[in-house]
Homo-oligomer: A and B are copies of this chain.
Amino acid sequence: MRQGRGRKRNNDALRMEDVAAQAGVSPMTVSRALRDPAAVSQAMRDRVQAAMQHTGYVPNRLAGSLSSQRSRVVGLIVPGISNSLYAQMAQAIADVLSQHGLHLLIASSGHDSAAEEAAIAAFLGQRVCALILHSTRHTARATALVKAAGIPTVEIGQLTRTPLDLCVSYSGFKAAKAMVMHLGSLGYRRIGFVTLPVHDNERSVERRRGYRAALKELGLPEDPAIIAESEPGFAGGVSAVVQLIERAPDIDAIFFAADVMAVGALFECQRRGWAVPDRLAIASFDDVDLLSHVAPTITTLRIPREEIGRQSAAMLVARLNGTHEGPPVVDLKFDIAQRESTTRAQKNTSGRRS
């Protein structure tokens, strides 16, 4: 006799069976009352409800997901959680998801494809029902894993012509080009350009392409002396503005195509007595709150970050419900906020410094 083998029953946690006993119904009825109340009569629903209340039952979604082969958890992989851009997208995503009873698993990859691959594998192990990836560059295995998993997946970092599945973003190329065209139309002729190091940031490459395309269209020469790469943060703007002005004293505008560099640059200009915008115009990429609170206020692109988060989440929800229709790639619109830092002729006296 093989008694004593295998595992003993666990009596710790409350199970559906316990609630069922309490309500005097079968476990199946409890299960249905939870996920498809309409399929259960009013009387049963009430009894189950009461029993759950009474016992303080918390359904085990691990078991539920294993059994039903689908979970209510979405995985999000961003380069970093603390960066406010990603954080805002994450917030928008979380808000939409939670409205639909979905949960958010977050990992940060730090711009590293290998880390992204590991996170994807881990998330698939958790059997997430969908993925949101910020990056658009993936390792071969990462791509294979996602395809094999067959779950809805949105890429949100930038537009791709070859999405894994879905893509919701804006065109960094078009945005950068539009801003440079805008500066050109204001009369600036020596327009500098600063990004993060292009070698580990795909988006910087797109933006620089946009810059070049605009110069060409404006009939302006491309001069390596007024193109720079710099570190993220205020400090990056500080060092870049100093570098460009020294290399090309005739520069009349700089477009900082990343992060809060433009603000760092503005502060440095003020410290050094370079009037903005009279001596040097400054434009930024992406609209952080700060840009409209400094003096002078800084001209920038308004990138629909939260819209990206909302739409990508909404798209996933639609796909999960089988109600999604429309193209797999959504190109969201940006616009330009023209402010004091690129205003010619009538200068802003409150921006003056020693």
A residues 81-116 in Cβ contact with B at 8 Å: 81-84, 87-88, 90-91, 94-95, 98, 103-108
* Chain B residues positioned under 8 Å from A352 (CB to CB): 354
- Chain A interface residue bracket vs B: 35 or more
From residue A144, how far is it (CB to closest CB) to chain B in Å? 7
Q: Tell me the bound Cα distance from A103 to B125 in angstroms.
A: 11
**In the assembled complex, A337 has its CB within 8 A of some CB on chain B:** no
Pick the residue among B91, B144, B234, B353 that contacts A108 (CB under 8 A).
B91
Q: Tell me the bound Cα distance from A295 to B125 in angstroms.
A: 50
- Interface digits, A288-313 against B, CB 8 Å rule (1 contact, 0 not)? 01100111000000000000000000
**In the assembled complex, A58 has its CB within 8 A of some CB on chain B:** yes
From residue A260, how far is it (CB to closest CB) to chain B in Å? 8
* Chain B residues positioned under 8 Å from A65 (CB to CB): 62
From residue A288, how far is it (CB to closest CB) to chain B in Å? 10
- Mark the stretch among A43-51, A66-74, A211-219, A314-322 that contacts chain B: A66-74
Contact A94 B106 (CB under 8 A): yes
Q: Tell me the bound Cα distance from A123 to B122 in angstroms.
A: 18
Contact A81 B91 (CB under 8 A): yes
